[in-house]
């Protein structure tokens, strides 16, 4: 299906395009980097392709833009741009005085600026969503599903452009980015498979009872940088097909893929105001959660942020599900296929620069498999660092300088606590990108369970190695860890695999495969400290989370006359 393009502010990247109008005013910038390129450009440049207009002034200015909107290569990104909020189907330039720079993590070139939206803008966004949902909830189920199918066709038609945008802004390789797009489509297709069920019917002697699932109303979706296109679609399709409106707050470090999604939702024909996008930091999230019309919150991010969001949501009586940090283990038994296992471990630990909540970040070598570590080191050394858009790149940069510094600090803490760094990825040589946020594959041996490198989620290409005498000791190590995203076992013995599956306490289990995030119709079953939400009903079904059950009871006989 072809896509009808609407005009986008990112088209200003084409310097040969004549200037039509300039945006008035300048905004101050929060600059978290000391890069010289940033120091030379502290204030935003003027926008050459459109002052934010009301629909009457410029009806085509409807969607936020992405760095991939009108360029064919990253060299075209000479002029930084400004990311706008998507409110009621219109592109609005924030009046915020606080802006964050977004860089290409391999080159430090500024790609765009993101506002920390004001309280007034957030209140307006929620009000738009609240009003739109009143009509949307009356739309037939079949029509909602039809619009989701249209969205799938549009995403498929633009998959390469989406992958380019993800790779440029987040840093992952093009192959990884394309995989993300494919899985995002799978999530929408799964939402389309939600049954059109009105609930239950119960007939008693004198009464009839009916239960129905009704939409909650306005749902807030807060997503991280590492899967900027996929993770919003963990929740949004289910919220839409069940009759809810959505306010999406994407990561301020990687906003453009979410803006592309907003564009495609409009092109698919969804009513304006059903999906809105506002930008900002944790302060913007706090403002969103303070709005009374918001009924549910879906959050994916770090443990500290999840804890903060959870406390605010519960204090304001909102339904909340928060998925946060993990420490995913791999257990290697002596009967495992050595070569396949070591390559699987390397991919699970170092792929996407370790910036995955399901990264395989801790390995328990059982018995003599500890002797396999040198061969794992050689495989890790063969992986190439580079820009995610370059062919041959195996590992891209980390998202920011602060992320790089944090990973390096945790590696150093392992040294200071007595562990042995047998492969040190700090300060790697990447001649083509000397300013990139690169950390190479790192393997730490002799790790004890009390060490910081084991206790914390590192979120980088770092693998910590532990040892166990037998399978039961390995299971004990996994179960005593406070995180519960997932784990894997590598063995050729089905009895060992079944024993592991039955006794390990984590959400998702891989057998001879690295841990991977569930997609499609498979539920996300995170537990322990990796999940915060309704303790009595952890990880609600995707279609159940944004709905509430209501019961109606009807009497089979006429009501008795009231006596005076």
Read off φ and ψ for residue 396, nearest 5 degrees: -90, -175
Name beta bridge partners: 483: 528
Contacts of 46 (CB under 8 A, 6+ apart): 22, 23
Query: 254, 357, 453, 465: which is the annotated catalytic residue?
Result: 357
Of 397, 385, 341, 399, the C-alpha closest to 365 is 341
Q: Is residue 110 a contact partner of residue 37, using CB atoms and an 8 Å limit? A: yes
Alpha-carbon distance of 389 to 397, in angstroms, equals: 11
Of 304, 322, 324, the C-alpha closest to 314 is 322
Alpha-carbon distance of 149 to 92, in angstroms, equals: 28
Alpha-carbon distance of 285 to 281, in angstroms, equals: 7
Which ranges in 213-252 belong to alpha helices (H)? 232-241
Place of tokens 């949004």: 236
Alpha-carbon distance of 353 to 196, in angstroms, equals: 41
Is-catalytic flag, 357?
yes
Query: In the structure encoding, which two tokens stand for residue 334, read together?
Result: 């002596």
Helix (H, G, I), strand (E, B) or coil at 371: helix
Alpha-carbon distance of 101 to 78, in angstroms, equals: 15
Residue 392, Cβ neighbours under 10 Å: how many?
7
Strand 85-87 to 90-92 pairing: antiparallel
Read off φ and ψ for residue 552, nearest 5 degrees: -120, 130
Alpha-carbon distance of 219 to 236, in angstroms, equals: 9
- Report CA dihedral (395, 397, 399, 404) to the nearest 10 degrees: 110
Burial class (CB in 10 A: 0-12, 13-18, 19+), 544: middle
Of 110, 190, 85, the C-alpha closest to 145 is 190
Instruction: Compute and round to an integer the Cα radius of gyration of the chain.
Output: 25
- DSSP designation for 43: S
As annotated, the active-site residues are 357
């Amino acid at each position: 299906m072809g896509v009808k393009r609407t005009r986008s502010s990112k088209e200003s990247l084409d310097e040969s395009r004549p200037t039509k109008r300039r945006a008035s005013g300048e905004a101050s910038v929060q600059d978290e980097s000391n890069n010289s390129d940033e120091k030379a450009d502290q204030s935003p440049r003027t926008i050459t392709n459109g002052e934010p207009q009301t629909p009457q002034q410029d009806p085509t200015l409807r969607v936020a833009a992405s760095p991939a909107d009108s360029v064919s290569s990253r060299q075209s990104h000479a002029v930084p741009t400004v990311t706008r909020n998507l409110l009621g189907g219109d592109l609005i330039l924030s009046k915020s005085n606080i802006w964050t720079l977004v860089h290409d993590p391999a080159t430090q070139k500024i790609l765009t600026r993101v506002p920390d939206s004001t309280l007034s803008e957030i209140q307006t966004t929620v009000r738009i969503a609240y009003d739109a949902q009143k009509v949307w909830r009356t739309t037939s189920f079949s029509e909602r599903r039809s619009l989701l199918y249209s969205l799938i066709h549009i995403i498929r038609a633009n998959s390469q452009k989406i992958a380019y945008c993800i790779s440029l802004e987040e840093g992952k390789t093009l192959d990884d980015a394309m995989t993300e797009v494919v899985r995002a489509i799978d999530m929408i297709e799964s939402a389309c498979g939600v049954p059109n069920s009105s609930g239950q019917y119960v007939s008693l002697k004198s009464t009839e009872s009916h239960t129905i699932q009704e939409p909650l109303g306005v749902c807030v979706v807060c997503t991280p940088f590492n899967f900027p296109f996929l993770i919003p679609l963990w929740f949004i399709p289910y919220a839409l097909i069940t009759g809810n409106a959505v306010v999406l707050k994407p990561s301020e470090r990687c906003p453009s893929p979410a803006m592309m999604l907003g564009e495609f939702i409009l092109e698919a024909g969804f009513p304006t105001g059903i999906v809105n996008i506002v930008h900002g930091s944790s302060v913007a999230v706090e403002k969103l959660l303070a709005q009374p019309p918001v009924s549910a919150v879906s959050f994916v991010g770090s443990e500290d942020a999840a804890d903060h969001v959870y406390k605010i949501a519960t204090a304001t009586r909102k339904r909340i599900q928060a998925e946060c940090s993990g420490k995913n283990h791999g257990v290697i038994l002596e009967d495992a296929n050595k070569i396949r296992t070591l390559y699987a471990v390397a991919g699970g630990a170092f792929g996407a620069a370790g910036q995955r909540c399901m990264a395989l970040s801790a390995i328990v070598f059982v018995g003599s498999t500890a002797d396999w570590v040198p061969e794992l080191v050689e495989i890790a050394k063969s992986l190439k660092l580079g820009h995610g858009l370059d062919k041959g790149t195996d590992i891209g940069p980390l998202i920011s300088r602060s992320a790089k510094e944090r990973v390096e600090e945790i590696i150093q803490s392992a040294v200071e606590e007595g562990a042995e760094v047998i492969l040190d990825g700090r300060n790697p040589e990447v001649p083509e990108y000397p300013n990139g946020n690169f950390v190479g594959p790192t393997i730490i041996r002799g790790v004890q369970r009390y060490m910081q490198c084991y206790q914390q989620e590192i979120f980088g290409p770092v693998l910590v190695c532990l040892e166990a005498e037998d399978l039961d000791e390995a299971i004990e190590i996994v179960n005593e860890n406070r995180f519960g995203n997932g784990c894997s076992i590598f063995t050729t013995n089905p009895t060992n695999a079944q024993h592991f599956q039955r006794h390990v306490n984590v959400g998702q289990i891989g057998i001879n495969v690295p841990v991977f995030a569930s997609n499609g119709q498979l539920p996300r079953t995170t537990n322990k400290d990796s999940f915060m939400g309704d303790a009595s009903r952890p990880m609600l079904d995707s279609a159940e989370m944004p709905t509430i059950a209501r019961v109606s009871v009807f009497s089979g006989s006429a009501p008795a006359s009231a006596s005076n």
